[in-house]
Structure 1
Amino acid sequence: MRSALTAALLLTIAPAAAQQATYTNPIIYADYSDPDVIRVGSDYYMVASSFHLSPGIPVLKSRDLVHWSIIGHVLPKLPFGPLYDMPGPHMLTDKISKPIGGTKYASGVWAPSIRHHDGKFWVYWATPDEGVFMATATDPAGPWSEALAVEATAGLEDPCPFWDDDGKAWLVHGKVGAGPLILHRMSPDGTRLLDEGVVIAEDKERLPVLEGPKFYKRDGWYYIFAPIGGVGTGPQAVGRAKDIRGPYEWRNVLEPGTTPIQGPHQGGYVETPSGQGWFA
């Protein structure tokens, strides 16, 4: 879902050994809302929300999780209709700060996920009005395949794919408005859903404003990282289960700080080659 973050943050989760270098948050002074990050070999890759902007879904690369460079975009142009073109001029004033009426301002790409599987990079994202989409590439710098609709249903958000050890593919996502989290079986090629889905997390008291799920597996446990409570004040929660369908036990792992930098909210968990865990 949309996030008010205007910079990417880097936070440690697992205990880490002494670092060779230091860094200061935010590590990127730019709008990279709802980032997701993975490591492939010794390289790290990040994607982020791009909303109505074209080109869409920036792909960034780093060798140290601190210094990032843009290497490409998944979408040369948002292919979802002429309302995304938004030709100007738009008469903006002190009271009207964004285009209104007849445009898709702030719609478009919300909270993409990036994964590396079967020798390819996979990016999944949702648009609030069109559905869940995916694209693949052998080189993260591109070219990327054309956007493919995995589920052409409005009102979905924040999808994340997962391929299990047995080859089965899954997709978790939320709904616009935050929550619940819904899990689907997916075709192994990642192009279509195989069922109507089952709710695996919904608790408006303990998990309010549940969104942005990211799936992981470690030591036989399934983990879902998901922010709760809203952008301004919410922590990062993690649920874990022995069965991918649950039940999941939840606890908060990262709390908001006291600085003007908002967070932690949506993001991705990644481990270094030495096993250090980081949230970006």
Structure 2
Amino acid sequence: MTHGTYRNPVLNADWSDPDVVRVGDDFYLTASSFGRAPGLPLLHSRDLVHWTLVGHALERLEPEDEFASPRHDRGVWAPSIRHHDDRFWIFWGDPDQGVFQVNAPEIRGPWTAPHLVKEGKGLIDPCPLWDDETGEAYLVHAWARSRAGANNRLTGHRMHPDGTTLLDEGKVIVDGDRIPGWFTLEGPKLYRHDGWFWILAPAGGVETGWQGAFRSRGFFGPYEERIVLEQKDTDVNGPHQGGWVRTPAGEDWFLHFQQRGAYGRVVHLQPMRWSEAGWPVIGDEGAPVAVHRRPDLPPQPPAAPATDDDFPGGRYGRQWQWAANPQGGWATQHSADGLRLTCVRSAGHRDLRELPNVLTQRLPGTPCLAEVGLRLDGTVPGARAGLAVLGDAFGWIGLERVADGTVRLVHRFAEAAAVTERDAEHPRPATEGQARLRIEIGPGARCRFAADTGDGFRPSGPVFTATPWRWVGALLGLFAVAPEGPGHAGAAAFTRFRVDPL
């Protein structure tokens, strides 16, 4: 990247379904978090290019029982973030429950408990609008065919200005079935501009579609449409849903995602202007840009969401999320550095895709080396802990206690359709009960595993290609587990987690 320009993607990891808002000189972004906890990540920037993770708006998902186990394709879908009446507001759709919102006086909280605004199956991608011209409030949302039996349409409601209830039964305000060639219309973002109601929404599918713009003089329509961003001759497939934001200097920008397989949904920043006919023109005359002039904003030092962690005092950083709602005692705080995870006893010694007590973070979108130190203090045979790459298929390398009380290094994997994991390498002794674990993640998310048990790093097993889950990119994970049984099974200590570029 040269001085004065930026290169896409600006967030090169799985920050799915981004939306953005400006408050003063600050920009804030949130994204889908599905079934992981905490949810609703909150990112901050002052130049729209460099972002840091400053917290989460949702500590736990509800109902508790539903999210006590991993639900990678459920939970928080496609949130919208707005600032109104001196408060931040986030609305999202849970496809099995309905439209929720939380709000807070400051981005770091305290955030309210989730409030169900509209109950129902298949209600997704909600976005509110408080109309400063009339004092009225509105909400638009899309539909998930998997739950509602239909999609490709947007429904609009009048909303109480306090954001708690809807004031009507709703009306289909854009029907994609009536627009030739349009399908899977979703992800609407609602705005007021130049006397028009605007809806920016993608269609055509996550990997193959385009970004549309709709405008109407009245909220309930009729709307006219244009395609305002599409792949054309670029390598940016999609490009999919996102949000429009205006800088203090009056520049317009659009943040959207691109689906990249195991890397998930990475975020691009596009310039935006208005044509003489009053329509938004995004990117380079409707095509995504790879490199562009930076926004006219004060220069900022390079920054990105954290990946490394020394786990000071046994605490883990904001970049980590549990695979499900956490229970007390999974991680133990203490006076020294290092993460101490309890070897949670698990019925049937389930594979990692089913375990809630896996601490995860996003797989970086560029080649990198992930490394962590591990000492296994788990005392029962079968206690194990390790470093994993998780998706529909998964692979992990770590330590396991065997029947004679010794510890061995193990490397295992499971294909997407497999119900049990298999050895990727013959186990070998780890006489000190500790190891340094490494995963080299190369182009195409091809992963090479290695470990140092005291005699230097040695490669382990064949190349493993990371895979996404449904809607979710692959994840890096730390875990500790033990077979079902009585009593405490001990713990595992992780130290100095690092992700370095290759």
TM range (shorter): 0.7 to 0.9
Unaligned runs of 5+ in 1: 1-18, 87-102
Cα distance per residue 1:32-58 (max 9 Å; x no partner): 110000111111010000011100010
**2:212 match:** 237
Please state if 1:166 is matched with 2:141: no
**1:52 match:** 35
Q: 1:195 aligns with which of 168, 179, 199?
A: 168
Please state if 1:39 is matched with 2:39: no
Greater relative contact order (CA < 8 Å, ≥ 6 in sequence): 1
Larger Rg: 1 or 2?
Answer: 2
Please state if 1:105 is matched with 2:72: yes
**1:15 match:** none
Shift of 1:275: 1.7
Shift of 1:236: 0.3
Measured in 1, the distance between the counterparts of 2:4 and 2:65 equals: 47
Correspondences of 1:1-280 after superposition (within 5 Å): 21-86=4-69, 104-164=71-131, 165-177=133-145, 178-204=151-177, 205-280=180-255
Measured in 1, the distance between the counterparts of 2:116 and 2:66 equals: 19
Alignment check: 8 A CA contact 2:209 2:237 kept: no
Cα distance per residue 1:98-138 (max 9 Å; x no partner): xxxxx533100000000000110000001110110000001
Where 1:161 maps in the other structure, the secondary structure is: strand
Shifted more, 222-231 versus 203-212: the winner is 203-212
Shift of 1:220: 0.6
Alignment check: 8 A CA contact 1:109 1:125 kept: yes
Alignment check: 8 A CA contact 1:84 1:105 kept: no
Alignment check: 8 A CA contact 1:40 1:116 kept: yes
Alignment check: 8 A CA contact 2:87 2:106 kept: yes
Question: 1:263/1:65 Cα in 2 relative to 1: closer, same or farther (>3 Å)?
Answer: farther
Shift of 1:72: 1.1
Measured in 2, the distance between the counterparts of 1:20 and 1:68 equals: 18
Paired amino acid for 1:80: P
Where 1:83 maps in the other structure, the secondary structure is: coil
Paired amino acid for 2:89: W
Cα distance per residue 1:164-198 (max 9 Å; x no partner): 12211110001113421000011110001111001
Alignment check: 8 A CA contact 2:205 2:238 kept: no
Shift of 1:83: 2.8
Shift of 1:258: 4.6
Measured in 2, the distance between the counterparts of 1:49 and 1:29 equals: 15
Cα distance per residue 1:135-172 (max 9 Å; x no partner): 00010111210000001212110000001122111100
Alignment check: 8 A CA contact 1:54 1:78 kept: yes
Q: Give the TM-score normalised by the residue count of structure 1.
A: 0.84
Where 1:172 maps in the other structure, the secondary structure is: strand
Alignment check: 8 A CA contact 1:80 1:130 kept: no
Paired amino acid for 2:20: V
Question: 1:224/1:134 Cα in 2 relative to 1: closer, same or farther (>3 Å)?
Answer: same
Shift of 1:84: 1.3
Shift of 1:24: 0.7
Moved over 6 A (4+): none
Report the count of equivalent residues. Answer: 246
Measured in 1, the distance between the counterparts of 2:163 and 2:201 equals: 22
Higher strand share: 2
Alignment check: 8 A CA contact 1:184 1:195 kept: yes
Unaligned runs of 5+ in 2: 146-150, 256-502
Paired amino acid for 1:174: A
**2:440 match:** none
Task: Name the Cα RMSD after superposition.
Answer: 1.5
Shift of 1:20: 7.4
Cα distance per residue 1:200-220 (max 9 Å; x no partner): 101323431100000111111
Measured in 1, the distance between the counterparts of 2:43 and 2:62 equals: 22
Paired amino acid for 1:40: V
Identity %, equivalent residues: 52
Cα distance per residue 1:70-100 (max 9 Å; x no partner): 11111011122323121xxxxxxxxxxxxxx
**2:281 match:** none
Measured in 1, the distance between the counterparts of 2:238 and 2:110 equals: 33
